[in-house]
Amino acid sequence: MSEANGEPLPALRRPDGVDDDTVAAVGKLSEALECLERARGHLYSFHQLMGHTDLLLGDATDDLRAAGHGEIADCLDEDLVGRNVIEGRWTFQIVEEFDDTYWSVFRDHERRVRDQLEGGVRHVFEAEMKERRRTHGRRHHESAPGVSD
């Protein structure tokens, strides 16, 4: 925050001519991107959990075979170990397709909209909310690290 006028720091400042409705709409788009990032994280968790599941299943078949249950182990090995989780795909392929088909395209659009409508400034809505909600001049309420106001 600029010490003299109570406005956000220049890097967080709303570009001239950008109205409240635009800031709110771009803020909603950014929120949608944040939600997408969380969904992507869950997809990566699914990917890792399924990989771990397959490795544990392989260990279980080895243990069953060692315990004298070769026929059961063979059945599990042949039908489940290394099986696609959806038609033709392991989870790494799902992750790659999601990233290429949706995630990267969404991020490109969000960046383009922000560049066009807010001069590339990120989180204008949140920066302005922070300025409204913080207690100016109070420790741990600074506008940015190393800025006293």
Range of the domain at 19: 10-48+85-133
Number of domains in the chain: 1
Query: Does residue 58 fall inside a structural domain?
Result: no
Query: Does residue 61 fall inside a structural domain?
Result: no
Q: How far is CA 41 from the centre of its chain?
A: 6
Regions in the chain scoring below 70 on pLDDT: 1-12
What pLDDT digit, counting tens, does each position of 72-96 carry? 999 999 999 999 999 999 999 999 9
In sequence order, which ranges of 2-138 are alpha helices (DSSP H)?
Answer: 20-66, 70-79, 91-98, 104-118, 124-133
State the DSSP code for 138: S
Query: Does residue 114 fall inside a structural domain?
Result: yes
Query: Does residue 141 fall inside a structural domain?
Result: no
Q: Which pTM does this prediction carry?
A: 0.81
Query: Does residue 54 fall inside a structural domain?
Result: no
Query: Does residue 127 fall inside a structural domain?
Result: yes
What pLDDT digit, counting tens, does each position of 15-28 carry? 999 999 999 999 99
Query: Does residue 143 fall inside a structural domain?
Result: no
